[in-house]
Amino acid sequence: MRIGIMDSGIGGITVLREALKLLPNEDYLYFADTENVPYGEKTKPEVMRLVCEAVDFIVGQGVKAVLVACNTATYAAIESIRAKYSIPVVGMEPAVKPAVERSRNGAHKRVLVTATPMTIKEEKLHNLIARSDSEEIVDLLPLPGLVRFAERYCFDENEVLPYLKERLSAYNGADYEAVVLGCTHFIFYKDMFRRLFPPETEIIDGNLGTVRNLKRILTEKSLLNGGSGDVVFYSSGVKVEDAAILGGYKKLFERLDDIM
């Protein structure tokens, strides 16, 4: 049986890449809700409905586990999904804790958490920060434009860097020990974040930790292995067979290989 991975769009490809590396002997179903992307600028009830509908479809295909590869979708709907299904359901959360721990040991004190507007508004994120950040060193920055760039497959520095520079203009990069990429779409721009912060600033995301958690759960439930790394792609419930779209996904993997 396959592992289902869902996202509002192409951001979860960054998580799929980690899964294929860490769990190569699994098969995958990747669901991109392309008809409704982006999630991060919608209301919580809207996102909850869309995520539940997506996961209903994914589970209907006979998967053995679901990974919600979207921080916004996780915060909106993960509890409802887990209550409905008996199979493992794994979600994402911004890597605040490791970033704060790094800042305590570093020369600079602050941590910048970037995410979608909805994630930044969510009480769950603020509770996560409160548990990790006793010294109040975390700053929050919404970057909705990066999701829109990614969904257009726009990785042109001439377009993206001016947006990032404008959004970061109020922050002194030298003050930050770590920058958290709290949206899976943002990882496609990791190289640009590196250019805008000092070399010693770590750019952190939660993908590997999430996939390690998935592996741990599958191991505990004796659900590991049984595949060859095969991936089927769905776009809002329709199987993707168009060669151009599949070729676009291949280029996304190639970009990640180049920048990571």
Predicted confidence band of residue 103 (pLDDT cuts 50, 70, 90): confident
Q: Which position among 16, 50, 70, 187 bears the catalytic label?
A: 70
* CATH code (residue 229): 3.40.50.1860
Query: Residue 109 above 90 pLDDT?
Result: no
Last residue of a domain, one of 205, 229, 246: 205
Domain that holds residue 224: 3-92+207-259
100 and 201 co-located in one domain: yes
Structure tokens at 169: 């203009």
Predicted confidence band of residue 108 (pLDDT cuts 50, 70, 90): low
74 and 107 co-located in one domain: no
Query: Residue 192 above 90 pLDDT?
Result: yes
103 and 201 co-located in one domain: yes
Contact 108, 176 (CB under 8 A): yes
What is the number of other CB atoms lying within 10 angstroms of the CB of residue 176? 24
111 and 193 co-located in one domain: yes
Does 183 qualify as catalytic in the annotation? yes
Does 52 qualify as catalytic in the annotation? no
Q: pLDDT tens across 53-88, in order? A: 999 999 999 999 999 999 999 999 999 999 999 999
Q: Percent of the chain, pLDDT > 90?
A: 89
110 and 200 co-located in one domain: yes
The angle, 0 to 180 degrees and rounded to 10, between the axes of the packed helices 144-151 and 157-167 is 170
200 and 100 co-located in one domain: yes
pTM: 0.95
User: How many domains does the chain contain in total?
Assistant: 2
Query: Residue 134 above 90 pLDDT?
Result: no
125 and 185 co-located in one domain: yes
At residue 133, the pLDDT reads 72
At residue 81, the pLDDT reads 96
Last residue of a domain, one of 205, 220, 238: 205
At residue 3, the pLDDT reads 98
Predicted confidence band of residue 107 (pLDDT cuts 50, 70, 90): low
Contacts 24+ apart (CB under 8 A), 84-90: 84/52, 85/55, 85/59, 87/59, 87/63, 88/64, 88/214, 88/217, 88/218, 88/221, 88/223, 89/55, 89/65, 90/65, 90/66, 90/210, 90/213, 90/214, 90/217
138 and 228 co-located in one domain: no
Q: Which position among 13, 54, 183, 211 bears the catalytic label?
A: 183
At residue 106, the pLDDT reads 61
* Over residues 165-178, mean pLDDT: 94
201 and 212 co-located in one domain: no
133 and 174 co-located in one domain: yes
Separation CA 193–CA 187 (nearest Å): 9
88 and 140 co-located in one domain: no
Average pLDDT, the chain: 94
Tell which phi-psi region holds residue 222, choosing left (phi > 0), alpha (psi between -120 and 50) or beta: left
Nearest Cα residue to 90 out of 253, 209, 249, 256:
209
135 and 176 co-located in one domain: yes
Cis peptide before 88 (omega within 30 of 0): no
At residue 260, the pLDDT reads 84
Rg from Cα positions in the chain = 18
